[in-house]
Structure 1
Amino acid sequence: MHASATVDCVMQLSGESVFLLEDNEIHLKPGDWLVINGVVHSWRNDGDEPAVLIAVMVGADHLGIPKR
């Protein structure tokens, strides 16, 4: 699990992924979008094929998250 001082816009291109939060899971399929705003998270691929995503990350100030 990690967090970054960014706002991330992520799109699932192919395969499937699971976006893990501390208390929830979001399953992504091709065409799904996700906007992440400095939350603690992780990724998992439960499928048999590679999960391909594209992302744009924009630096942002989030209290308690070191800039990297």
Structure 2
Amino acid sequence: MRRIVTVEEDGCSKIAIDEEVSTATWYQEIWAHDDVDQLGSDPGVVPRELIPEPGQTRWRMVSLPPLRELEAEMDELRAEGIENPRQTVEVDADGWHKTPTLDYVLIFDGPVELVLEDGSVMVQPGDTVVQRATNHAWRNHGDKPIRLLAYMTALR
């Protein structure tokens, strides 16, 4: 995925960053905005927590592996005594989690199942989800990783 970031210098708009974004991890930070930095900063320069603090935002591409691969990976890591290796939020054995964020999600690949406490819905490529700090889980029933583009805004 290519990332282009603009900047204004000396009254002139120009390209500040034009690069391929690495997809080596299960999520790739595209941009980060902290309340102390009005325009945000390159996430490659500043370490970031998974969940933004109040006043902060995160824009990231998430790669969700097939459910059977994810379950096998989690079982293996738990057997080694490593709990919750993929996130810094409370996630149960079935992938349920809740973050104190308002998330705007665009489904790139799919289908993927969005599971909520009262049921689930299959979302397709091009579908969008507005996740309003609710308990949920994502399930990729396919045989290839799928990508979700997520913009997370921390709630106060």
Q: Report the alpha carbon displacement of residue 22 of structure 1 after superposing the two structures with TM.
A: 0.9
Q: 2:116 aligns with which of 3, 17, 21?
A: 21
Which residue does the alignment assign to 2:135? 40
3-state SS of 2:104 partner: strand
1:12-47, Cα deviation, whole Å (9 max, x unpaired): 111221111011101111000000001110110011
Structure with more of its chain in helix, by fraction: 2
* 1:16 maps to amino acid: P
**Contact 1:6/1:37 (8 A) holds in 2:** yes
**Contact 1:15/1:49 (8 A) holds in 2:** no
Larger radius of gyration: 2
Which residue does the alignment assign to 1:9? 104
- Segments of 5+ residues of structure 1 without an aligned counterpart are 62-68
Taking structure 1 as the reference length, the TM-score comes to 0.82
**Contact 1:12/1:31 (8 A) holds in 2:** yes
Instruction: Work out whether 1:59 is the aligned partner of 2:154.
Output: yes
In 2: Cα distance, 1:50 partner to 1:43 partner? 12
Taking structure 2 as the reference length, the TM-score comes to 0.38
Structure with more of its chain in strand, by fraction: 1
In 2: Cα distance, 1:15 partner to 1:3 partner? 22
Supply the RMSD in Å over aligned alpha carbons.
Answer: 1.0
| Equivalent residue pairs, number | 61
3-state SS of 2:108 partner: strand
- Segments of 5+ residues of structure 2 without an aligned counterpart are 1-95
* 1:53 maps to amino acid: L
Higher relative contact order (Cα pairs below 8 Å, separated by 6+ residues): 1
Q: Runs in 1 of length 4+ with deviation above 2 angstroms?
A: none
In 1: Cα distance, 2:136 partner to 2:111 partner? 17
